[in-house]
Amino acid sequence: MNTEPDFLDIFQTAVKDLPHGVDLLHNPMLNKGTAFTLAEREKLSLHGLLPPCATTQEMQVQRIMGNFNMKPNDLEKYIFLMALEDRNENLFYRVVMENLETMMPIIYTPTVGKACQTYGHIFRRPRGLYISANFRGRVAELLANWPYEDVRVIVMTDGERILGLGDLGADGMGIPVGKLSLYTACAGINPSQTLPLTLDVGTNNVQLLNDPLYIGLKQNRLRGDEYDAFIDEFVTAAQARFPKALIQFEDFANINAFRLLKKYRNRILTFNDDIQGTASVTLAGLYSALRITGQALKDQTIVFLGAGEAGIGIADLIVSAMVEEGATKEEARQQCWFIDSKGLVVKSRENLAQHKLAYAHDHEPLPDLLSVVKNLHPTALIGVSGRPKKFTQPIVEAMAKHNERPIIFALSNPTANSECTAEEAYTWTNGRAIFASGSPFEPVTLHGKTYIPGQGNNAYIFPGVGLGVVACEATNVPDEMFSAAAKTLAAMVSEDDLDMGRVYPPLTSIRKVSAAIATAVAQIAYDKGLARAPKQEDLRAFIESEMYQPTYQSYTDA
């Protein structure tokens, strides 16, 4: 998103203002590598620093893909791509955008999970900002070290709940880095306007504390009032330094995620992707699935395996959507049931966490998922447990017994944590399951028909939402924006997609999806009086015109 002159525009006022020589080659925003023309090399003191043959960006892409395909495993491919991003951002995004279905599983889930687990061991060059608890009282000073003034999107984590992998501390930086790569690739937010950020408050992961190569603070996590004061200091300093920036909370543990969202959502421009983004993409998948079954959302009985921030966030948005269809809030909540580590969440259970209370219903206790499915006869089963293989064959077969087209969403990430595979869901239901997963699965052929499983990837949602609030300079992000994003995404699923079993559009269309979601989100901001930027006559055209494109710009005319 280019709402103000970007880094290159600033330097292009005159050739003398551009970095020259090796300084230019070491600047990933400006570097073109072998694609510098002979005229540019002459003006910018690059002769001799590059091999004499000037190439095109297309030829560079060919070289990158050749090297990428020679890497022996996905982690090595991840390392290779991050190195490319470190030296030439335009080329990195050109490669990613032209090969999105290949690249997304590498730069984000599932490979980013493995990268975070080994982050201190594969660490090369820092990206983003690390603000540690040792700098309490000096957060504004650290934010001032960031070289770009017009930051519009900050993705921030404290590393306590990275994907389904748990507490990875400062090694969780791979998540903000990956998320912001998707903001640019999928929605055209200019990379110079993004800031990956880790608040390092320590870690309770003993393995990391004992690892000599761990990159974070070697101390137990900050808790209580000191933790809250540190978060508050950051939010205040970030608003002062980057007053138009969206702050996205990412991979915070349940003990902090819900209460921090509640605390800040109406005070600043923020959302929690694990709660709200996951909810939106799941609701979109349900809307698509119901086009197959021909049923109404308010008539569904939905069972969630996992009662954390993802599950509760999904249920809350589903309840809002059911209310839109005519149900009362209480009726809608009665359609959503949760299973946690102790079994079915029921009202008679003592010491329930605050976030579970709204979904604790009057029912006899049931110990496990199979007994719940047999007793409640749900139409949809949503896995957000972070625990693999929990949708067993008896459970999936029980879903198929009571539903002609059972909806089975195994959403836990990464792939190794999925509640079941696509092949299992289709095989155990004789091809009748409507399946989606958090991480990608290969197509499945059964009885001569090929099914393409949908991936409930938050990348369908958060980049478009971010693009919309940035475009209109929104002041906050109400839930209506995520409802609109879900409807917009579902509307872009074709009948051919549904026939193949896919409840989301192909990833190749994701920039169109993001532009459509951004338009819907910005329109809500204008309708609710939340936008600071003047409204453009053709909002969609304006948003599309502002989306970053990874093309090289000429320096010869500067």
Closest C-alpha among 276, 329, 336, 326 to residue 304: 336
The per-residue pLDDT for 413 is 87
* CA 282 vs CA 311, 347, 524: distances in Å: 10, 26, 21
**Residue 501 DSSP code:** T
Q: How far apart are CA 27 and CA 16, in angstroms?
A: 16
The per-residue pLDDT for 556 is 83
Q: Residues 221-236, buried b or exposed e (16+ Cβ, 10 A)?
A: bbeeeebeebbebbbe
Which residues are CB-contacts of 328 (< 8 A; sequence separation ≥ 6)? none
Stretch (H or E) spanning 272: strand 270-272
Indicate if 43 belongs to the active site: no
CATH topology of domain 275-558: Rossmann fold (3.40.50)
The per-residue pLDDT for 12 is 43
- What are 134's two structure tokens? 């040792």
Q: Is the peptide bond before 28 cis (omega within 30 degrees of 0)?
A: no
Residue 210: φ, ψ to 5°? -95, 0
SS (H, E, C) 92-132: HHHHHHHCHHHHHHHHCCCHHHHHHHCHHHHCCCCCCEEEE
Q: What is the CATH number of domain 123-252?
A: 3.40.50.10380
| 488 residue type, one letter | T
Q: What is the CATH number of domain 7-55?
A: 1.20.1370.30
The residue from 78, 93, 108, 227 that is catalytic is: 108
Q: How far apart are CA 487 and CA 464, in angstroms?
A: 13
Closest C-alpha among 476, 469, 510 to residue 187: 510
Evaluate whether 486 touches 287 at the Cβ level (below 8 Å).
Answer: yes
Q: In the chain, list all ranges with CATH 3.40.50.720.
A: 275-558
Residue 382: φ, ψ to 5°? -120, 120
In the chain, which stretches have pLDDT less than 70? 1-16, 557-558
Q: In the chain, list all ranges with CATH 1.20.1370.30.
A: 7-55
Indicate if 179 belongs to the active site: yes
The per-residue pLDDT for 193 is 98
The residue from 32, 77, 114, 179 that is catalytic is: 179
- What are 319's two structure tokens? 């309840």
Q: How far apart are CA 79 and CA 62, in angstroms?
A: 18
The per-residue pLDDT for 557 is 66
- What are 340's two structure tokens? 């946690």
Stretch (H or E) spanning 271: strand 270-272
